[in-house]
Amino acid sequence: MARTWITLVLLLFSVVSQAQAVAAKPERAVILIIDGLHWRAPERLGLRNFQELAAQGTSFRQAYCLMPYHPTTGAWASVHTCSMPNPVLAAGTLFLKPDHPMIQHAFYPEQKTAHVVNSLSYVTLDRGFNFSMMVPPTTPDSVPIREAIRLLKNEDIRFMLLHLQNTGYAGNQCAETKEDVPWRHDIWAAGSPYVAAARNADRLLGEFVNALKAMDKWDRTILVVTADHGQSNSGWHPLLPEDSWITPLVFVGPGVAKNREIAYAEHIDIVPTVCNLMGVQPPNVGPGSGRVLEEVKATEPLDKKQRPHSLKELNQVLKDYRLLSAEMIVQAKKNPVLENVVLRAEREFYGAERILEWRELGSVSALIEQNRSVVDRMRQALGQTGAGQDSGGL
């Protein structure tokens, strides 16, 4: 009988503890970005702190971001100084406009916000932050980590965007070096600066978590760890390799399910989910915006329902268009009509360089359908000219 009572008491204690964990209200949210972190890096490089956080929370094996296009001229460059996935993540929508609000605007100015990064490229993301630190990418990742810790210790920060640039910078070194070294065009090779930078970022991630615990703020903090874009095995983020489109992603904190792994998410889902967990309105809703990842919540059962892979599909059609255009231009030396097809396609295809026009299509599915129809006609024209026929009006 005594044993039965002990069992019942332990069971009740367990139920109460779980209910308290679910009911705990987060006081702050931090999105920590490890620039260019390859989606396989946590397991391939044994990133212990990242893996421990995944066990404490909900992780996504593959989180798709927008193809990391980075124009330095034209409409985009007049609005942003960074690659496209960064403002897409911060806004939680693909349908950007020059004055779009970002996640910090869900808190600012009523509550304090902070932006800490060792890069000067993200100045156009800086609207709506009370505190900001931006220094060159050659600055060690330890500098933004320690500034973030200082701010969290001394200020009542409600939302923080913390970006560590060194891993992405090291990936670029692997792509650009002219030295005869094993890691030239191979981020995983012996002596790779990418491997060293990723492991150091993981060490600093552990330092950051330990600091939150020492401040007694860990249990009321939503922490999201991801990358701004993926990384090619050859280094940096060229547009065509799918590894450039994929990042790891983990959520941990009050209300987040523990030790749950899910296959797929999209970067546009991060902001709506963080806002939902924090009890604030997301900065953008409606067409083009991401969804709340209900499957991260401890109160929700794991739902294995297949959801649309819109960002993956969009990236694929953007890739197909680039490859077809290049092939047709090369073949236009023998079949000049193919250049006409490409020029006509440019009028109808909503490529990454036209991202500020995407909202004109009304929905992401309509955007994908429009672009896919152009690509299909390009393929047809290429096949017809290959057979010696007139390509006709695209």
Say which CATH number the domain at 189 has.
3.40.720.10
Structure-block tokens of residue 390: 């007139």
Mean pLDDT within 51-72? 97
Bigger pLDDT: 375 vs 3: 375
Domain end (from 229, 262, 296): 296
Structure-block tokens of residue 244: 């450039």
Q: Is residue 5 part of a domain?
A: no
pLDDT at 198 over 50: yes
Alpha carbon distance 322, 330 (integer Å): 12
Q: Helical H runs in the chain?
A: 2-23, 41-44, 48-56, 74-77, 85-91, 142-154, 166-176, 193-214, 270-278, 310-331, 337-348, 364-386
Identify whether residues 182 and 262 lie together within a single domain. yes
Identify whether residues 286 and 332 lie together within a single domain. no
Look at residue 390 in the predicted model and tell me its pLDDT. 41
Identify whether residues 279 and 314 lie together within a single domain. no
Look at residue 11 in the predicted model and tell me its pLDDT. 45
For residue range 255-293, what is the model confidence (pLDDT) as tens digits? 999 999 999 999 999 999 999 999 999 999 999 999 999
Domain end (from 296, 325, 347): 296
Identify whether residues 280 and 376 lie together within a single domain. no
| Residue given tokens 């129809």 in the structure block | 373
Q: Which domain holds residue 76?
A: 25-296
Identify whether residues 39 and 130 lie together within a single domain. yes
Triad 362, 364, 369: Cα angle to 5° = 95
Q: Is residue 3 part of a domain?
A: no
Q: Is residue 269 part of a domain?
A: yes
pLDDT at 13 over 70: no
Q: Is residue 16 part of a domain?
A: no
Instruction: Please tell me the least confidently modeled range out of 6-15, 128-137, 317-326.
Output: 6-15
Q: Is residue 19 part of a domain?
A: no
pLDDT bucket at 391, cuts 50 / 70 / 90: very low
Residues 6+ apart with CB under 8 A from 346: none
Identify whether residues 186 and 109 lie together within a single domain. yes
* 3-class secondary structure, 218: helix
pLDDT bucket at 24, cuts 50 / 70 / 90: confident
Q: Is residue 233 part of a domain?
A: yes
| Residue given tokens 């959801």 in the structure block | 307
Look at residue 386 in the predicted model and tell me its pLDDT. 59
Q: Is residue 103 part of a domain?
A: yes
Identify whether residues 283 and 338 lie together within a single domain. no
H-helix or E-strand spanning residue 60 = strand 58-64
Bigger pLDDT: 244 vs 301: 244
Bigger pLDDT: 386 vs 196: 196
Identify whether residues 253 and 361 lie together within a single domain. no
pLDDT bucket at 7, cuts 50 / 70 / 90: very low
Identify whether residues 33 and 179 lie together within a single domain. yes
pLDDT at 318 over 50: yes
Mean pLDDT within 134-149? 97
Nearest in space to 378 (alpha carbons), one of 364, 362, 393: 393
Look at residue 303 in the predicted model and tell me its pLDDT. 73
Identify whether residues 150 and 273 lie together within a single domain. yes
Environment class of residue 301 by beta-carbon count within 10 Å: exposed (0-12), middle (13-18) or buried (19+)?
Answer: exposed
Q: Is residue 121 part of a domain?
A: yes
Identify whether residues 79 and 157 lie together within a single domain. yes
Bigger pLDDT: 6 vs 179: 179
Cα 232–chain centre separation? 15
Identify whether residues 356 and 278 lie together within a single domain. no
- Number of domains the chain is built from: 2
Share above pLDDT 70 across residues of the chain, in percent, rounded to a whole number? 91
Domain end (from 245, 268, 296): 296
